[in-house]
Copies of this chain bind each other. A is one copy, B any other.
Amino acid sequence: MPTERSQRLSRAAALRLSLYLRCVAEWPADGDKVSSSRIAEAVGVSDAQVRRDLAALGHLGQRGVGYDARELAAAIRTALGIDRSWRAVLVGVGNLGRALLRYQGFRAQGFQIVGLFDSDPAKVGTEVEGLTVEPAVRLAERAAALRVELGVLTVPGEMAHAAAEALVGAGVRGILNFAPVVLKLPRKVRLVTVDLAIQLEQLAFQVQHGDGANRDDE
């Protein structure tokens, strides 16, 4: 149940919280308190922005003393909805799919890949990172048994629409799409599309504009 407070969180604020969490999670367990200015510096936003965002999470820090890193990390996880684990299936066991399966970050943040699907008969039945690849056509019937909530789509662009439809049919509530296509999904299914070229564009922009590129501190 989202609280009234967390419902007010904008997507931009949610993204900043994810970035703060990275900074705070690396804080040594026996370390001092974390200051907002330290977080601001690591993430590249203004000190005032960090204080505003964290104030919205409740009474966490003390003026001039800073935040307890573990308490702050827990509060951010709760606000983002990652204070529990999420079960996901991955569709498309190519290079990117395999890279994501080996990616430690997913498990560390509570995301569990519990099923692998591919439409290539040569891949079906093979084992990857401890899971057996199943035929994509079986996605819908397997979803209930796997208790799937999220889908990760790492298929080529021309197969993305069919694979997304299969995931919707399987009842997932959200899709993380790596295919370079615009997917149209029913309103109740959330979509985050990762466009890797955008990241490279942002780097080019920063290189081009050097120190003149203003920091994102609203």
What residues of chain A have their CB less than 8 Å away from a CB belonging to chain B?
Answer: 2, 6-12, 14-15, 18-19, 21-22, 26, 42, 44, 80-82, 86, 88, 94-96, 98-100, 102-106, 108-109, 111, 149-150, 152, 157, 173-176, 180, 182, 187, 190-192, 194-218
Contacts and interface: CB of A to CB of B under 8 A. Distances in A.
13 contacts: A8-B214, A10-B218, A11-B205, A11-B213, A14-B205, A18-B202, A80-B208, A81-B205, A81-B209, A86-B200, A96-B99, A105-B196, A105-B197
A105 B194 contact: no
A187 B41 CA distance: 13
A147 to B, nearest CB: 14
Number of copies: 2
A11 B214 contact: yes
A104 B102 CA distance: 23
Contacts of A96: 95-96, 99
A207 B195 contact: no
Contacts of A218: 10, 12, 218
Given A81-B208, A99-B96, A14 B213 contact: yes
Contacts of A108: 197
Contacts of A199: 176, 192, 194
Given A82-B201, A103-B197, A109-B201, A209 B95 contact: no
